Amino acid sequence: MPTSDQITASLFVWWDDNVPSGITTIHPAQQTETVSLTEWIELRISAFSRRPGRAGGPAVIDLAVIAHCFVKPQADASRIDELADAVAETLAGRTIPVLDHSQSDTPVVGYLGLQESETHHLTRNHENREQLPLQHAVVSTPGIVQAL
């Protein structure tokens, strides 16, 4: 069964190769100064859980890929929707090979199958109505991992 490290590394390498150009992605534990950024995505995997099954049957892991999308206040209020839609289109319905990056030939050890994405808008208005809020949307994409 692929490990959580193999799944995470494979997703992040795949994401970096497929994310729409010009969008900054911040991965877990990565420290990035966002002062100069107008928009960015924070990508992580949440809720690793092994699905119960028969002894000797194929092991399956359920998970969720979570992308927090942030856009600083600007004239175009629809930019957060465009960014969240780009994330959902990139992730939804994809099959991503899970690779063992510890071996020189990086063999495929399983596959991550992603399902349809859901978007939730979390932007909150400030008490000071003159200050525009940081726009925030979360794109959640459930998936399953199966070993070869």
Domain CATH for 113: 3.30.2000.30
The tally of domains found in the chain comes to: 1
115 contacts: CB under 8 Å, gap ≥ 6: 92, 93, 141, 142, 143
Among candidate residues 91, 32, 31, the one with its CA nearest the CA of residue 65 = 91
* This prediction's pTM: 0.89
SS3 state of residue 15: helix
Residue-range definition of the domain harbouring residue 62? 4-147
pLDDT in tens, the chain (148 residues): 899 999 999 999 999 999 988 899 999 999 999 989 999 999 999 989 988 877 777 789 999 999 999 999 875 778 999 999 999 999 999 999 999 989 999 999 999 999 999 999 998 766 665 566 789 999 999 999 999 8
What is the residue whose two structure tokens read 């490990």?
3
